[in-house]
Amino acid sequence: MKKILVLVIIVFSTAMFAQSSVLEGTYTIGGNFSFNSESVNGESSGYTSLSFSPSLGYFFTDYFYTGISLSYLYSSGSNYSNNNYGFGPSLRYYLSKNQISPFFGFSFLYNLSNSDSGSEADYSSFTSSLGVDYFVTNFLAIEGTINYSFNNRSTSFENYSHSTGSKAFNITFGAKYFIP
């Protein structure tokens, strides 16, 4: 029991004195993961998706982060499956270097998608973000972000092609490790 108590005290005291690492010369590695499963009442159809989005970054100056993001999304339904791959740059500016570090940022993501039906799509999105990193330790942060995106999608299948534009709002959670 004493060992558990000592471990809990060490973990909480480390978190209490954690500072962020948003300083020049710091590298980051992070990302988020999601799984979604949806079923339709009274029908045998459903939808499943799995998403993984890693990111790498670097602070060229204090508070200013530049990075590259990758993304993978697999989705399937009762009569289709789809794979989506993406990449793009991102920029962030952190407003403080405290344990709770708010930021705003912008990113661009280019995606290629293909399905088992033979259709192909490419789309791009420009996203503005507001978020916060909560530093659990000096080097590990849990991240929450509110995003608003402008999207452009082009789809082609056999002799058919179509382009659409859309706007999206989402909230994401992830983790980021800072390497000084």
Relative to beta strand 64-77, strand 46-61 is antiparallel
Residue 8 has pLDDT above 80, yes or no: no
CA 33 vs. chain centroid, Å, equals: 8
- Smallest CA-to-CA distance from 54 within 103, 27, 87, 20 is with 87
CB atoms within 10 A of CB 97: 14
Distance, CA of 82 to CA of 92 (rounded, Å): 31
pLDDT in tens, 156-173: 777 778 889 999 999 999
- Token output for 145: 């972000």
Query: What's the whole-model pTM score?
Result: 0.78
Backbone angles phi, psi at 13, to 5 degrees: -70, -35
Residue 3 has pLDDT above 70, yes or no: no
For residues 144 and 101, the answer to whether their CB atoms sit within 8 Å is: no
- Smallest CA-to-CA distance from 69 within 172, 180, 179, 164 is with 172
What's the CATH fold of domain 2-179? Porin (2.40.160)
Q: For the chain, what is the mean pLDDT?
A: 86
pLDDT in tens, 12-70: 444 444 556 889 999 999 998 888 888 877 666 778 999 999 999 999 999 999 999 99
Average pLDDT over residues 3-8: 49
